[in-house]
Amino acid sequence: MFSLQQKNAVVTGAGSGIGKAVALLLAKQGARVYAVDLNESQALETVKEIEAAGGEAAALVADVSKQDQVQQIFSGVTKVDILVNSAGVSHIGTVETTPEADFDRLYNVNVKGVYNCLYAVVPIMKQQGGGVIINMSSIAALVGIPDRFAYSMTKGAVTAMTLSVAKDYIQHGIRCNCISPARVHTPFVDGFLKKNYPGKEQEMFEKLSKTQPIGRMAEPVEIAGLILYLCSDEASFITGCDYPIDGGFTKLNN
C-alpha cells in the first residue's frame, strides 16, 4: 500500500521541517522527488539523504513568492504527479502589532507562493490527465489563535484556494486537499524559543506542548504520513477536504 513508484513529486519547503520529512517519506515510497527550497544547501542536504537511502531526487532553488522563479523551475519538470505546497513562514502578532511589511511578507510566501505553484502545476496536470495537490493549511484557519492575525489570514486563504482548485479541476482528474496541523516540533519552534525565551526554552516547550490535549507536539514525520496517504492511490476518492492533524486541539479544547 501507499506505493508511489513511477511518480514525480514536487515538495516546496523541502529543506527543513515538515517539507523535508515529506520529501524523505515520498521518496522512500518510490517517488522521484524534486526538493524545492529557497536555501540551496538545505535542499541539497535533503537530496543527499534521499539518495543515501536509495531514492531519487533533485534540488530546485526558488523563492516561491516570485512567479518567474517558480515558472523557471517547473519548465524543466515535464511530469508532476504530486505537488505538496509546504513552504511557509510564521508570524506572531495581533492586527495592531502587525506592520504592513510583515503582513506583505506573510501574504507573499504563504498565499502567493501557493498560488504561484498552483498556477505552474495545474496546466501540467491537466495535460497529463490528472495529479494530486496537497496544501499546507493550519488549525489557525479553523479556530481563533491568540497573536496569529496575519498567519491565520494566510492559512484561511490556503484552505479557500484548496476548495476552489478541487472544484474547478475535478473533471480533469486533479485531486486537491489540504491539511491543518497544530503545533509541530520543527527547527522553527526551537529557534522561536531560543530567541524569545532564552534560558527558559524547555519550560516554554512543555507549556506549548500541553496546549494540545494529547499532551505533546506532532513530529514532522507524523504530518508526512498523512500527506503520503492523501497522495497515494488509496486516497483516490478524496478531494476538496481539509484534514486537521492536531492532537485533539480543535475538538477537545473545551
| Catalytic residue IDs | 151
Q: Report the alpha-carbon distance of residue 23 to residue 134 in Å, rounded.
A: 13
Dig out the grid coordinates for 100 from the structure. Answer: 504592513
Dig out the grid coordinates for 236 from the structure. Answer: 483516490
Dig out the grid coordinates for 120 from the structure. Answer: 505552474
Q: Report the alpha-carbon distance of residue 41 to residue 36 in Å, rounded.
A: 11
Dig out the grid coordinates for 94 from the structure. Answer: 495581533
Q: Report the alpha-carbon distance of residue 245 to residue 56 in Å, rounded.
A: 28
